[in-house]
Structures are given as C-alpha cells and as structure tokens.
Structure 1
Amino acid sequence: MGRIQRLFAATAVAALATGGAGLPAYAAGADQVAEVIVTAQKRSENVQNVPISIEVVSAQKIEAFHTGDLRALSVPNMNVQSSGGNDVIYMRGFGSPSQNYAFDQSVSLYVDGVYAGRSRQFSAPFFDLQRIEVLRGPQGALFGKNTAAGAISIVTAQPTSDFEGAATGIYSFDRKGYELSGYVSGPLTSTLSARLAVKVRDQDGYIDNLAPGGGEEPTDKAQLARLTLKYAPTDSFDYLAKIEYGHAESLGSVSVSGPLNGTQQPKLTRYAVESGRLGPAGFETTSWNFAGTGNLQLGEFTLTAISGYSFFKASHVNNFDQTIPGGGGAVAPPSVFNSFPEHFQQWSQEVRLQSPTGGKFDYIVGAYYDNSQYNAQSYTNYILAFGNFFLGSQFKQQAESYSIFGQGTYHLSDRFRALGSLRYSRTNKRGFYQGVQLQGPFPFRPNSVARGDIDEGRLDPSVTLQYDVAPRTMVYAVYGQGSKSGGFVSNTAGTTSATFTYQPEHSENFELGVKSTLPDSGLVFSAAIYKTKFDKLQVSTYNPNTQGFVVGNAAKASSTGIEAGASWYPAPNFDVTASAAYQDVKYDDYPGASCLASQTISQCNPLVPASVAANNLAGSPLPNISKFSGNVQVHYVADLPGDLRLGTTVAMSGRSKFFNSDDQSPLYGQQKAYTKIDARIELLPSDNRWHVALVGTNLTNELTTAGAFRLPVPITTVSRALYWVEPARNISIEAGVKF
C-alpha cells in the first residue's frame, strides 16, 4: 500500500471510530451546523432523525467535481459497474448483472418520486439537482418496487419564489471539449412559478484508438433540458409538473486488451475497427420523462399523488480491442461485434395519505401502480477464420405491478418510538424471445423460441425501534425485508421456454445504528452495523467456453458490515467530511454455479455439464465487491483582500481489491486496491455572484477497470483478457455567474 493509500486508510478508519453518514456540507462554523432535510420516509425530516443508513450528497458536492452520473458518485458500500451493457448499481454487495438486459435492478432508482427501473431512462440524471439520497439496505415497505438491496432517490431543483438564474461553462483540457449549463427560475404569476434548466456537453475521450480512422474515444455529447412548473393557488393545494428531454451519444469504446497470465494492465490505447454491418461502436439514447406531484391538504391530513411517464429508445454497439498482448503492436483479425437496440416506456401512479405528526400515532398509507413495455434486440457479427456469421434475437416484455403499503409510528414516550411498515405487491409479466441466424449457421448459437408468464405476490414487512438517548443522539434497531420480481432471459442464445424464466429474489436485513449531532463541537456523525441475507439471488455469468450467458438464481448469499462517517466544522468556512464502510459478502449456498478461473478441472470442468451441476460456490465472495470503501473531503474558504474569497476542496476516495470478472480470475479478473484524488480551487466574491475554478479529477491518473472477461478462441485467433477502463486524469477550468 502506497503512502497516499495509507493516509487515506488512516483517515477513513478515524471516520469509522467517530461514525456518521449523509451529513451537511459547507456549514459556516461550529455554532452553525446545518440541518439536512430528506424525504427517505415520505416526509420531510432531518436526516439525523431518520432510522436508516443513508448518505446524502448535496448539489454543491455534485457540482464541485463535475459529477455527471452514478458511476462517478463516491458512496461507501455502493458502486456502479459498467462493462459494455447497462450500468448496474451494487449496494452492500448486491446488484443485478448487466449481461441480461431484462433484469430489474436490485437497487431501485427514483427521480422526483418516479421509479426508474432501467439505467437508460434518464440520459444524464445529475443535472440541476437539489440532492441525492442513498438508502442502504432493503426498502421494501415505503419504496417497494425492486428495492431488495437499497434505493437511490434523486431530487431535482424546484422553481423559486424569487427570480434567479445561473450559467456555468467548463472546458476540459484533457477531453478537449466543453460543457455549458444554466437555469432561470422565478414567478410567472402570483400562483405559478417556473424553472428552466439546460445542459450541453461535447467532449472527446481518454483512450486513443490507433486503427485507421480512429481517434480519442469515447466521445461524449449530450443535450438536456428540463422545465418545471409549480402551481400553488391556495395554501391547501399545490402541483409540481416536470418534463425533461435528454439526448446522449458517444462514439467509441473503453475496452482494451490485456494478458491472461498476468495481473490487470489497463492502458489508454486500443486498436479496433468498425463493423461494416452494425456501424461504429458507441451508444445513442433519447429519453423523455414527465413527473407530476400534487399535494392537497384535507384538514390536518395531506393527500399526495405522483404521476409518471418515462420513455427512451437506445442503440448500443460494442467492438473490442484487437491488440495482441505482448505482440509488439500486432493485432488480431476482427472477430466479434454486437449491438443492442432498446425501446422502453412506462406509466406509473402513486397515491399517499399522510397523517399529521405530533400525536401519539402517525402514519402514511398509499397505493402504487405501473405498466411498462420493453423491447430489445441483440445482433452479433462474428468474423472468423471459418466463416462470417450474423446472428440476431428479439425480446419483448410487458409488465404491470400494483401494491398497497403503509407505515405507522407509535410514540411510546417522548424518547421511544416504534415504527411498523408493510407492503403487498403483485407483479404480472409476459415475455417472448426468438433467436435467428441471419447469416450462418453459427455452431455455438442455436436458434430457439421461448414464451413465459409470471404472476406473483409478495409481502414485505419492516419493524424499527428508535430511542433518543440524549437530546441530539438517537439509536435504532431495524428488521426489514425486500424483494425483486422474477423475470425472463432476454439475450441468451438457445433459450427455451423451460429456461426462459428465473425466480424472484428476497432479502432480509438486521441493522443497528446510532446518529448524533454535537453542535458545540461542530460534529455530526452516525454509524450502522448490519446483516443482510438474500434468497434466490438473481445472477448472470458469462461462460467463455460456450460463448453465452448463464442466467438464473443463486440459492443464498449474505453480507455483514459496518457503515460510518462524520462531518466536522471546527471553524468558520472550514469543514471535513469522511465516510467509510466494511463489508464481507459471500455465497452461503450456490449449487450448479459456473466454474471459477481458480478452480482446477478436477474441481469443476466447464465442458462437462455434470461437473458444473455439482459445483457449489458456498463460501466464495461475490464479484464486483470490495471489503473496504471510503472517502474523505476537506473544504476551506480563505478571505482575500478586495472582498474576494479563495475556496479549496480536496477529496480522496478509494476501494480495496475486488473481482470484476464473472469467473473471478485472480489475474486478469481482479482490480487492485486504489485511491483517487480530486481537487478544486476557486476564486469568488463574498456574494457568490461569479466564480472561476480550476478542477482536477483523478489527479494521480490511477487507471482502474469497471469490468473484465476472457475473450476465447474460436471467436478470436488469440485468446486474451478485455478490460473496461474507467476515466483517466482530467483537468478543467470552470467559470460561472449568478443573477
């Protein structure tokens, strides 16, 4: 471990000793610790009073380092895998692998209260935000929809009662491009206010494609716009309506080749040609989203209705680096290209009735419904020594779900509360799959047709005990359950009706936590220990020997860990925040699992079905999981002559080593431990009307990978590892003005 990593680890361990997570940022001083208001329990509450392990990321922290999406968000015990398919959120070690496009997420994403089960529903969700709430652990009762491992709630900025606006421009020296964003907000009439926000981005990539016609990959272009209207004709009624358009496109890929007999060696060059049949590598996504939230006061009660509509169409083409590791620059012939066009739309409606607080018993009850249609195609072009093959498949799914839910809080005393929650959900799905040989036949991918129907119901309860041991110190204990519905295999060749359907997964969580605010010392902290168990965990693994994905249910898995963090405000204009987590995640029982790279042929032979059927990974770790993760951020503002201020922010984040290949190879499939450092220095006046900043991310140019797998013969002439390389160092200059 290097000097920087030792320093980071020591600081993060100190955070564990003090505790804390989801804390205020940029408070003025020790006597002015700001409250952070969240809606994790469907009410507006101080985060320190919420009995959930929750991390809150403010808009200021998101904007400070140009955080554009969940992949760049540093939250301990949460990570996002991106490896040629859909992005997958992992929480406390659990997520739904990207290889099966029809998977619902085990960690649900909500944007302004609207469920987003597909990663492409929002082209760039981190855009003119108010905050992000990361809720760790099952949230089956109040959120419900596929929250077996956790939930993420994104809250966008709302219209203001006074006129205001801002514009920001960013130029990236390393990506050789720009980003422009801005908003205007204010009243249109005495009862109607509006907010219009836009963002445009056009930047090059960080990997050099050496093939003819190549360049810096992947390019990053996006055009985003959001209009939000708030209508409040009386004190007893208001309605917030939002419509958002997003278009994002990229040319190129981040896959690079590496050796199979050595550790990961990511680089920033590749050699990859375009597919004459599928076109250049990259993706393009167009999305539309609408959300409407109405609140009606019925005496002391509040009736809330949230309506949502979401649509996207997307196309994703992959090509792979052909560079032969150790070949002196030699390249293999083109071997495989694939494409995944998608189309999705969803309607949803939620209604809640909220009782007043302050009495002996308060509650929330509600109902939820959604309906969605999802179509996905898969095309693969193999250009091999023994032939040119072109394969395709079509997948269609129609799904609807409805649920009723409630949560009640009984105040046993002024300091002791008991919370109980229950949700009943019903899910119906219909699916169809068909594979075709457009040019072939390809011997490893047989044609097949599959149909399936799912109709299932589930109760998810939760019980919480919460006790105030001091005026600003609270402890809590939680038992909760979560679930995710079953589904269909969307893009695995050879799928039949007998193998088309996989079962739902269930989770249960035991958690103990503490939260405390000590304003006299300027310290806010919290900590939680937990045990989470999964039954029938949904999994997908790539088998390089059959060139296909194996989709199904692992029997049992569990995660045990601790999460903690703290914010400290020792002096005016100076604050330190730190959070860290430790987790131990393993399969408790997984019979019939695909072979691991570390297993011998006698232990598991991938070419012998009986050998694989007898394979059990009980005791083995899950992929994509670090035992340790954490971050530290220091922020200071110094007063300068002439009514100017100089702000400095330094942030460090890191993870311990983890497997990021399905076969958990200890060589090509393991990402080593790393620490990344970001820094920001900005000049601004005391009234914050303008600013100029220099921003650096991944300053030490730590090259890390989001995923890896073995590209085998015969679909390549030279078997090799492929890595998906994450962003390298980037230096930007930023200028902005407010009015």
Structure 2
Amino acid sequence: MSSRSICRVLCGSTALSTALLLAGVAHAQGVENATAAETAVQGGVEDIVVTARKREESIQNIPVAVSAFSQAQIDRADLTSVEKIAASTPQLTVGRASNGSGAQISMRGIGSNSTSLGIEQSVAVIVDGAYSGQGRVINEGFFDLARVEVLKGPQALFFGKNATAGVVSLTTADPTDEFEGRVRAGYEFKAEQAVLEGVISGPLSDTFGVRFAIRGSKMWGGYYRNVSEAFDYPTTDFVTGVTTPHEALPTPNNQPREKELLARLTLKWEPTSRLTVNVKGTINYNRNNNNSWNYVAFGCQSGFSTVNPTTECRDDNFVSHMNKFPVALGEETPFGKDDGSLYNYYRAWGLTGQVGYELDNITITSVTNYSRNKNSWACSCAYQAAGVYATEGTTWRSFSNETRALTSFDGPVNLMIGALYQKTKRVFDQNVVFAGVENSAAPAGMRYVAYSKNSETEGETISPFAQVIWDVTDALNFTAGVRYTHETKDSYFVQPYVNPSLTGLFVPNATVAADQTFTNWSPEATIAYKVTPDINVYAAYKTAYKSGGLSNSGIYSGLSTTPDEDFLFDPEKAKGFEVGFKSTLFDRQLRFNVTGYRFKFSNLQVDFFNAPTFAYLTINAGAAISKGIETEFEYAPHGVEGLTLRGTLNYNSSKYRNFLGPCFAGQTIAQGCPSPTGPGGFPLQDLSGKSTSVAPKWTATLGGYYETDIGADTTFGIGADARYSGSYLASAFGNELSHVDSYITFDASAKVGFQGGRWELAVLGKNLTNRQYFLGAHADGPLTGSGTGTAAGISADQIGFGTIPRTVMLQATFNY
C-alpha cells in the first residue's frame, strides 16, 4: 500500500472515530441529563497536572503545546526510557547513535544530528528540574516516574538553555505519606531479557520521608542478528615494510546483550509547612556488546553494499554486518579489548537538591545538580564488515543551580524572576584504526592506530530571566518574559599521533583552540483567554537560543583548505508563533485540543562527514521553517466506566529556507552538485526547499485503554495504540537513498490485577507490526561514495539508526 493510501486509511479512521465518538458523547450527554438525579456520574477524562511553567497547573489550562503522561499511564505503557517516551509521542523521535553525541533527538523535524560531540541537543532533556543537553542521556534508563511532559517548540524561559526545538521533562517519584513498596519482575522474549525492579517508600518521621528504587536487567539474546563472516585484515609496518595478516572475527550473533543497573535514593524533609527539601541521588550503569548494534546499510545505489558487494542493503530484517578488532589490534589500541570485542560502557551518577520555601506572597525554589558520566566504546566504524575501527573514551561533568522566585499577590500583576548558573567540562579521546597501517616505532598502544584525537571544552553559563504575569480579567491573562544568556566555552582539539604514512591526510600535533563567548536575549509573550471554564484559547510569540561551539569529535584533515573553520559553528536561534485551542467538553467526557505553529530556525546546527576531504564538518544551515497543525482528542464516557479512547492527527512541514550545504558523497551534477565551492574546498548543493532530517508531513495515533472488574478484588485491563508516520528522509542533506517509507506500528497490553491490585500480571507488546524504520542516519557510509560533483558519481551507502523490533514482555508485580 502506498504512503498516500496508508495515510488515507489511518487518517480517515481517525476522523471517523472522532465523529462516532462525538455522536456517542452527545447521546450519552442526553441520557445523563435525563437521569442525573438518579445516577452518579462515573468516569471522565483524567485531569493531568503539569509543571511546564514551574508551577502546578492543569494541562488544559496551560497555554503551551504539551503532551503529558501521568504516573498510571507511564506504568501502564512501560515508559522507562527516552526512546520509549518518543515512540508514544507524535512528532518526537529519538535515533540511537554509536558515536558523536550518541543520539539524534528531533521534534517536528528539527533536531541535532549525531556525528558531532560538540553539538548539544535542540530538544533538551530535563530530569527533576536539571538540564541535560547531552545525547548520551538516552543511555540512562528512567523508571519509577511520577510524570513525563513533552513540550513542543522553542522553550527558553522555563527550562534553562539550549531548548530551541522542545523539551522532554521527567519527574521522578517522591516519598509517600504511607509506607508502600513494589517488586516487579519481567521477561522479554525477543531479547531474552530479564528485568527485576524494586521500590520502597514511606515516612521515617512526621517530617522526613525516604524512597529507594532499583532496577536491573540482563539480556541473553538481542534485538539484532549479526551475520558477518570473518575476513583478513593485513597490516604493513611503516618501519620494516613487513606485512602481517590478521583475522577479524564476527561479533556475537545476538546484539546488544545489554546489562543495566539503575538506582535512585530520594530523601524529603518538610520541617515546616513553608520549607521543603528534596535530595535525589542516582547511579546508572549500562553495558552492551556493540555500540553500533542498530546501524544498518539500508540505502545503496546498486542495492548492495559498496564495501561488501554480496550483501544486500535492506531495511526490513534487523540484521547487521560487523566484525571484531583483530586480536593484536584490540590489545594495542587504547580503550580496546584484549580479545578484540566491540562494546559500549556507560556509567553515570548525579545528585539533585530541590529546595522550596514559601513566604506569604512569594515562593522561592532552587534546584542544584551535579552530574558526571563516562562513556567508552570500541566500534566497527564502517558499520559493515570492512576494516575501519575506533575506540573512544569521554567524560562529561556539570554543576548547575537554578533559583527562581514567584510572587502571588492579590493584585492583577505578579512576577517571576530567577537565574541559572552552570559549569561544565567535556574530555574526549579517540583512536582510529584503518587502511592497514602499522608502526612498530609508535608510542605504546599506538602501533596499529592511524590517528588519535584529543579534545576538551570547559563551559560556563550565567542566565538570568524574568516574567510579568498580568491577569487582565478573570478570563484574560497576559504574560511576557525574557531570558538573557552569557556563555563562554574554552576548547581545544589536537591529533597527538598520526601514523607517518598518513600525515598528508591527517595533520599531527596541530592544535585548534577556541575561546568563545556567546550572548543572547530570548523574549516571549503569551495571551490566554478562558472562553468558558472548560474552553481556553491562547496565542504565543516564542524565541529560543542554543550557543555555538567547537566540534570535539571533528577531524583535522590535511585535504581541507580551512581545517580550523571545520570545527567552529555559530549559535542556533528560533522564533515564531504558536496558537492553541484547548477544550474539555460534555461534562469532562471529551478533551479536544488543536495547536497551530510556525517557527523559523536560523543557523540550524548540522554535522556532516565529508568523504572527499575526510573531515567532519560542523556547519550552520541558513534557515529552516517548521510549521503545522496538531490535533488531539481523549474520550472517556461516563456510560462506560474505565474506557478511554485517544488519538492525534498532525501535519508538519519542516524545510530548509536557504541552505547551501555540502554535497553528499557521490552526488552528481544532475542531482544538484556542485553549486559554488564552499569553505574547506568542498562542493555545495542548494538545499533550499528540501526537507530536514526525519520530518514526515503526516503523523497520527489512535488507541485506547479499558479496565473493569471481573470478580471480587480482580480487575482486567487491555490497551492498544497504533502510530502512523508518513515517509521522510533520514539524511539531513537530501540524499534520496535515505528515504524511509511510511509505516504503522502497533503496541498492545493486557493485565489482570488480584486482591485489589496487590498482585498483577501483564503482557506488554511493542512494535507488534515488527516494522524496521530509521530515525536518523550517519552522514555517509565510510569508504563509500565517489565522483562527487561529476556526471558519473556513485552515491555513498546510507547507514541508518534502526529501531527495536517486535518485543513481548511478560511482567509480574507485587505491591505492598
């Protein structure tokens, strides 16, 4: 079935379902009005409380485009990672990447592609009020959550810095007023994964509470199947000229065979009714057997891999083709394994302190966070069975404090003022092995290394902000605010070792240093009108800002004419308008919302691997426009207690407005390359009017949940959700080989609760259609693509970040 046909089917069914539901609601309303004196009202849509403006508000009253999940919804759908949250949120996508930033997180087609470690995400992740712009945060599992909020579009005022495209805000659960606990065990059949989780919570005194949550998991299988075969990798010693054969064995058949341990301790102290102190400490451990386990060559000009001509490029079988380091190379490479194994090893810990103090008319809140993570990996970095390997070790640490004060005077005007301070440091080391080079006279650990990289960035941010809140009337509210950002970044990059045979390609010991200062004012204003107590409309002007920087994971290439400029990139800015209609109708049986938006993103930060000059280029697209309409409904009829139906229908157009960008490797003259020659000596193409990466025009969801009593103290619940995405390009540079067809995924769950919910058995199924799709792409496949800017170019293979296949988990829970 074509993309248009699929869209017609799903979108049509959404519209039909909505019409039927409205008719049913009208009928139910009439019945209820006739019998209101005789029967009690049951059911109705859940009123979700959000803190998107740093104060508790109903999701229907807040003038912000936000999708939110309550604690019950999170638990029911097993939303235990940023990727799972994205899979349940229209227009939010998360592509898991192996190197660079570690992820491509996109909202409405705007995001930061993954190949540069120096680019922070345009979609910020906030955990318990503390900002994280690092893509590696997706390696952290999130469980025992109280609330998830996904804010769409620029968010400058309430969520720190660098949220030009949106925010994913996660709030973990606090200690409870009474002692309670939970033990949960699960087994997922596809990955052969066992999961064990425990929570205990309660008061230690009238003023002090504690909550401890821990989760561990282990896979004996995996999501992807490696089918590579052993191949020979000979190396030639630069000193002696002797060639030595080596064998590169396949990686394990099942990948990623992940092991994970997560723990969180929360202490809450309320000595008075005015003061609350909350401290959360977390640790995260995650390890797997291949950092690139989901990388797949899915688009190739001939239909077959360039580096493995007998291997078909496919997008439907969850298969990879990767090999270990030859043993001698693994032993001699920093961060390598003695047996040549591939891996990814992520460790993180953090401490967050939240203090709230209430005066008579002022509420003061402060969030202080210290976090640190380390990530190391060994990679088959052609992402196919070819002789390109790398290892990496990075560390990131951050200290931040955000303090704000909100007034609550009886008059019509109130204020919110505050400031953010953040201090960060990133350390990056990488070693790349390829081209069969060897140097017996090299420093220890560098014998088989082609070149090594080292980089650091120290950053400091001071960012005050303020907002005026004016209740013009009981129904009309106007707010206006601004955030000022002053950010400094002190960075350097150097390639301390290059094999002597490659010094013409990679420049040794040439340091790129950058002492950068960025400043910005980001204003916003919103007017909201309450038509009735259950109908609200609003219009907002928003801006946001993300500072520039230096690409820590770049390449200093001797083929580039401006190698220093390859590393530096300018700030990204967003501005535009959003209008919204939010309604809760028919005695709270129907929630129906519509949002329209248009935002311009100037100097959108993108990263590209330029094969002809063998360099990563961090550049700024001139501008991109994201505009569209989003609709959502939720229906919970009084007449059928326990039933909730929901759906969304979204149109989004996200295109470059003016962007002379690099040609993809192998792009021909007929395909639009070259236009002028750009910085670095590489040819350019005109991408104006072309779609940004992962930007489907149409997305939709349709689903529901039903829970009912089936016996004494026994309940049964069943739920299902379908998600449709239109087609899009995974590449940010217009390569048609990265085309991803439209798709539908289907999730379902069923549970039985016993003894009033004390015991529960559940089955959770995700991606039951078993559809493989790609949520981003490595710029171009290494060692592929030729003839760029000629009439007879051969396009580079497209390597995509594949999603997880069909999974089915059996889960048992005991609550006490």
TM-score, normalization: structure 2?
0.83
Match of 1:382 in 2: 434
Match of 2:185 in 1: 169
Which deviates more, 527-536 or 436-445?
Answer: 436-445
Compared CA separation, residues 607 and 316, structure 1 to 2 (3 A): farther
Compared CA separation, residues 260 and 267, structure 1 to 2 (3 A): farther
Counterparts of 1:304 and 1:732 in 2: how far apart (Å)? 40
Counterparts of 1:222 and 1:341 in 2: how far apart (Å)? 19
Structure 1 unpaired stretches of 5+: 21-27, 324-331
Compared CA separation, residues 385 and 185, structure 1 to 2 (3 A): closer
- Aligned mate of 1:707, from 762, 776, 796: 776
- Aligned mate of 2:295, from 239, 247, 255: 255
Alignment of 1:453-468 (within 5 A): 453-468=515-530
- Aligned mate of 1:144, from 146, 150, 160: 160
Counterparts of 2:516 and 2:565 in 1: how far apart (Å)? 13
> For the Cα contact (< 8 Å) 1:394–1:433, is it kept in 2?
yes
- Please state how far the C-alpha of 1:4 moved relative to its aligned partner: 7.4
Alignment of 1:710-725 (within 5 A): 710-713=780-783, 720-725=797-802
Q: Which secondary structure does the structure 1 equivalent of 2:60 belong to?
A: helix
Counterparts of 1:636 and 1:114 in 2: how far apart (Å)? 35
Which deviates more, 424-433 or 142-151?
Answer: 142-151
Which deviates more, 534-543 or 274-283?
Answer: 274-283
Counterparts of 2:490 and 2:20 in 1: how far apart (Å)? 50
Structure 2 unpaired stretches of 5+: 23-39, 230-249, 304-312, 331-335, 440-447, 558-562, 787-793
- Aligned mate of 2:268, from 230, 235, 240: 230
Which deviates more, 229-238 or 542-551?
Answer: 542-551
- Please state how far the C-alpha of 1:236 moved relative to its aligned partner: 1.1
- Aligned mate of 1:581, from 650, 656, 664: 650
Counterparts of 2:20 and 2:473 in 1: how far apart (Å)? 28
Match of 2:494 in 1: 434
Match of 1:25 in 2: none
- Aligned mate of 1:241, from 264, 279, 287: 279
Match of 1:738 in 2: 815
Counterparts of 1:309 and 1:472 in 2: how far apart (Å)? 41
* Alignment partner of 1:207 is 2:268: no
Q: What amino acid maps onto 1:273 in structure 2?
A: N
* Alignment partner of 1:109 is 2:125: yes
Match of 2:209 in 1: 193
> For the Cα contact (< 8 Å) 1:130–1:156, is it kept in 2?
yes
Which deviates more, 489-498 or 291-300?
Answer: 489-498
> For the Cα contact (< 8 Å) 2:45–2:634, is it kept in 1?
no
Which deviates more, 135-144 or 152-161?
Answer: 135-144
* Alignment partner of 1:315 is 2:376: yes
> For the Cα contact (< 8 Å) 1:266–1:725, is it kept in 2?
no
> For the Cα contact (< 8 Å) 1:5–1:675, is it kept in 2?
no
Alignment of 1:278-677 (within 5 A): 278-279=336-337, 280-319=341-380, 334-356=386-408, 359-384=411-436, 390-442=450-502, 443-447=504-508, 448-494=510-556, 496-520=563-587, 522-570=589-637, 571-595=640-664, 600=669, 603-605=672-674, 615-667=685-737, 669-677=738-746
- Aligned mate of 2:108, from 92, 95, 99: 92
> For the Cα contact (< 8 Å) 2:752–2:761, is it kept in 1?
yes
Deviations 1:146-185 (A, max 9, x none): 1111122110000111101111111111111201112000
Which deviates more, 507-516 or 209-218?
Answer: 209-218
Match of 2:76 in 1: 64
Q: What amino acid maps onto 1:254 in structure 2?
A: N
- Please state how far the C-alpha of 1:30 moved relative to its aligned partner: 5.8
Deviations 1:377-398 (A, max 9, x none): 2221114599965221011000
Match of 1:273 in 2: 323
> For the Cα contact (< 8 Å) 2:489–2:549, is it kept in 1?
yes
Compared CA separation, residues 30 and 591, structure 1 to 2 (3 A): farther
Match of 1:327 in 2: none
- Aligned mate of 1:77, from 84, 87, 91: 91
Larger radius of gyration: 2
> For the Cα contact (< 8 Å) 1:81–1:89, is it kept in 2?
yes
Q: Which secondary structure does the structure 2 equivalent of 1:214 belong to?
A: coil
Counterparts of 1:598 and 1:177 in 2: how far apart (Å)? 43
Counterparts of 2:661 and 2:147 in 1: how far apart (Å)? 43
Q: Which secondary structure does the structure 2 equivalent of 1:307 belong to?
A: strand
Q: Which secondary structure does the structure 2 equivalent of 1:340 belong to?
A: strand
> For the Cα contact (< 8 Å) 1:321–1:722, is it kept in 2?
no
- Please state how far the C-alpha of 1:527 moved relative to its aligned partner: 1.2
> For the Cα contact (< 8 Å) 1:486–1:502, is it kept in 2?
yes
Counterparts of 1:234 and 1:247 in 2: how far apart (Å)? 37
Which deviates more, 276-285 or 253-262?
Answer: 253-262
Counterparts of 1:357 and 1:43 in 2: how far apart (Å)? 15
The alignment yields a C-alpha RMSD, in angstroms, of 2.9
Compared CA separation, residues 237 and 389, structure 1 to 2 (3 A): closer
Q: Which secondary structure does the structure 2 equivalent of 1:62 belong to?
A: helix
> For the Cα contact (< 8 Å) 2:406–2:415, is it kept in 1?
yes
Q: What amino acid maps onto 1:255 in structure 2?
A: Y
- Aligned mate of 2:748, from 679, 682, 690: 679
More strand by share: 1
Q: What amino acid maps onto 1:506 in structure 2?
A: K
Q: Which secondary structure does the structure 1 equivalent of 2:75 belong to?
A: helix
> For the Cα contact (< 8 Å) 1:409–1:418, is it kept in 2?
yes
Counterparts of 1:370 and 1:401 in 2: how far apart (Å)? 5
Which deviates more, 263-272 or 698-707?
Answer: 263-272
- Please state how far the C-alpha of 1:112 moved relative to its aligned partner: 0.6
> For the Cα contact (< 8 Å) 1:76–1:563, is it kept in 2?
no
> For the Cα contact (< 8 Å) 1:256–1:320, is it kept in 2?
no
